[in-house]
Amino acid sequence: MNLTLKIWRQKDANSKGQMTDYQISDVSDHMSFLEMMDVLNEQIINKGEEPVAFDHDCREGICGMCSMYINGEAHGPDRGVTTCQLHMRMFKDGDTITIEPWKAAAFPVIKDLVVDRSAFDRIQHAGGYISVNTSGNTQDANSIPIAKQAADTAMDAATCIGCGACVATCKNSSAMLFVGAKVSQYALLPQGQVEAADRVRNMVAQMDLEGFGNCTNTGACEVECPKGISLDNIARMNRELMKASI
């Protein structure tokens, strides 16, 4: 298929960006979206110009590095996938595809489609852990049985890949799905109870400090999340925060 691509180009954080048009031909259905971008970049390099910068690494939907806003949707039109897992069979010959970076005040653009998501790391520094040193003397892993349902629900929350699609898609640029997922993972497990109150308070405080917005229950984040992280996690975070403040 032949496509027109409208891509956000921005030299660096301090420059103004603009949309630039590119034509690409002979795109195969079986290509992934990023492979299509590779082909485009190869074309651009061979013309002696600068290729489009974008984040990507594992290309199998787990590292959370890739982050494109495609036709107005985080990770594009497919559901339950990251940009690297999106395939060109989702598009048809003659389509015009708009490609932008994540747009949020807390995620400043580094270059083209690459954004700075270090705010997510700083939220994790504020409390995204259980305080246990490496020793080799912790108790046996089977000494505390954990109900399968609790373990499974904790796992579902822990599946978050930290890509930031939730923030990019939210009209308030809220990071509550991301923070809620981490708070929930620990809140559901016995190991997480000791520090539960401090954790949720500190993580939420850091989230606010980073300039993320609040949740107004639109639910777009859950729809666009490539890992299907449930809105329940936001509710659980709010409950935890409430518990921590009384």
Site for another protein in 186-245 (CB under 8 A): 186, 189, 191-192
Piece of the chain touching another protein by CB under 8 A; list 17-25, 75-83, 215-223, 236-244: 75-83
Residue from the set 14, 18, 142, 217 that interacts with another protein by CB under 8 A: 142
d(CA 211, CA 74): 20
Piece of the chain touching another protein by CB under 8 A; list 69-77, 132-140, 211-219, 235-243: 132-140
Applying the rule CB under 8 A, the residues between 92 and 111 that interact with another protein are 110-111
In the DSSP assignment, the letter for residue 113 is T
Residue 179 makes contact with another protein by CB under 8 A: no
Residue from the set 7, 154, 177, 234 that interacts with another protein by CB under 8 A: 154
Q: Is 42 helix (H, G, I), strand (E, B) or coil?
A: helix
Angle at the Cα of 139 (from 133 to 143), degrees rounded to 5? 140
Which residue number, 29 or 208, has a Cβ lying nearer to another protein? 29
In the DSSP assignment, the letter for residue 91 is S
Which residue number, 215 or 240, has a Cβ lying nearer to another protein? 240
Task: Give residue for tokens 């940009």.
Answer: 83
Kind plus residue range of the DSSP H or E element containing 7: strand 3-9
d(CA 44, CA 24): 11
Residue 180 makes contact with another protein by CB under 8 A: no
